[in-house]
A = this chain, B = another copy of it.
């Protein structure tokens, strides 16, 4: 570290006597030296190329560099402790948990060096995934076959949509897994800059942020799933008891009967078996996990990128009120553009999952809101319904807000930049302001919409009065239905 800072000092002393271009090159050399130092490798051919002036887009760039990867400076991440505040390291425990449920089948997640991560067709992880995935397909087929005979209506469509989205989520995560190692390498490489001066690790570092969020979501979703099972089981046993009382027989509620009745669309097809029943409950649980994990995944990605924008904002805030040379702003703008490009690259790979997650959340929230006035039988049903509704709304809002924080952070430095005084004002500041003010920097659903704070409002508000009104119409119709059926009964 000393030597790096020394070099920096030496060069900065001589800066005034160099021409504009010279300084720039020297600056690049410093960077390269930094990188060499960090990488403890000999090859610099790949580093001596200025990343800003590259011909290829970031994605192509990373592909073309794939062969040099063994010499790459991202190896540094493994050896050095001061390059540890990176997304890959922050996220790995959650990915390991996900792999237990067959999501994201990549190898080498635990290695500190992202280089070691790879996707292979012959791996334990993929096998686990395929087992889950295969059974999900089977369940889906059974359900569709069941609906073919029963007919689709507003009640049973929820189940199909749940399995279809679990199925699609598995597909999307498998496709993502194949591209994940490369993505994480590109990401790690772009994060090195932000682990060096003048950037600082923020008070609450990346790993802490991501893991806190993940823990909370996983626990709350487990409770939700538990309540769902409890609600179903109690429904079943109470019904048995009442029937028994009515028929004057003794009530016999067994696990077997519960499973048979609850998964009737399966057991009308195949014979029942206690292990099969447990297995199906496991798969159902996995589907619920995947369904929650999509949202969690978007949260983690969002936090990872928003963190970098926050670092840039912090740096700009520190510059406020000082006389800053144009080169500093040029450098900041360069880093800003780099994070934007990383976001764009991540978004390309992720927006299928975002689209699915949003559609899912929108559907289930609307669906639940529509049932607010429904009469339920037992207290446990009410508890489950309201917990589930609030959890769903809360999770949806959290995902949106976290994703929107990328957009918020990307614009956060605008205030300081607008206060830049007449003397410090330069073309680079102008470019930076123009870019911040006109570009929509955010995760997107296949570019159809961008996850910004304004969007949430655009979706939710028009629904509120609507839902209530239609609810009221619905209620009146139900009343009418009850009344007429009642009257006829009276006759």
When the two chains form their complex, are residues A363 and B464 in contact, meaning their CB atoms are under 8 A apart?
yes
A377-B483 Cα distance, complex, nearest whole Å: 24
In this assembly, does A56 line the interface, its C-beta being within 8 Å of a C-beta of chain B? yes
Q: Is the CB of B472 within 8 A of A154?
A: yes
Q: A326-B422, A425-B431 are in contact. Are A477 and B473 (CB under 8 A)?
A: yes
Given that A370-B469, A472-B474, A476-B474 are contacting pairs, would A53 and B337 also be in contact in the complex, using a CB cutoff of 8 Å? no
Q: Is the CB of A366 within 8 A of B468?
A: yes
Asked if residues B488 and A485 are in contact (CB atoms below 8 Å), the reply is no
Within 43-84 of A, Cβ neighbours of B (below 8 Å) are at 50, 52-57
* A329 nearest CB neighbor, chain B only: B422
Chain B hits for A320, CB < 8 A: 53-57
Residues on B with C-beta less than 8 A from A340 are 415, 418
Kindly state the separation between the CA atoms of A261 and B25 in the bound complex, as whole angstroms.
83
Q: From DSSP, what is the main secondary structure of chain A's interface residues?
A: helix
Q: How many angstroms from the CA of A477 to the CA of B473 in the assembled complex?
A: 8
Smallest distance from the beta carbon of A58 to chain B beta carbons, Å? 9
Measured between beta carbons, the chain B residues less than 8 angstroms from A469 are 366, 370, 466-467, 470
Q: Specify which chain B residues have a CB less than 8 angstroms from the CB of A470 in the assembled complex.
A: 469-470, 473
Closest chain B residue to A338, Cβ basis: B419
Looking at the complex, which one of B330, B408, B446, B464 makes contact with A422 (CB distance below 8 Å)?
A: B330
B477 touches A362 (CB 8 A): no
Please name the 9 residue pairs, one residue from A and one from B, whose CB atoms are nearest each other, closest first.
A53-B321, A448-B457, A366-B465, A154-B472, A449-B457, A447-B453, A55-B321, A54-B321, A437-B438
Given contacts A466-B469, A476-B477, 20 further A-B contacts (CB under 8 A): A50-B321, A53-B321, A152-B372, A154-B373, A330-B421, A344-B415, A362-B461, A363-B464, A414-B439, A418-B431, A418-B435, A434-B437, A438-B438, A446-B453, A449-B461, A473-B474, A476-B481, A477-B477, A480-B481, A483-B484
Offer 25 A-B interface pairs, CB within 8 angstroms, sorted by A.
A52-B419, A55-B321, A55-B322, A56-B317, A56-B320, A57-B415, A153-B373, A154-B472, A327-B422, A344-B415, A363-B465, A366-B469, A367-B468, A370-B472, A437-B438, A447-B453, A448-B453, A462-B462, A463-B465, A473-B477, A476-B481, A477-B480, A479-B481, A480-B480, A480-B481
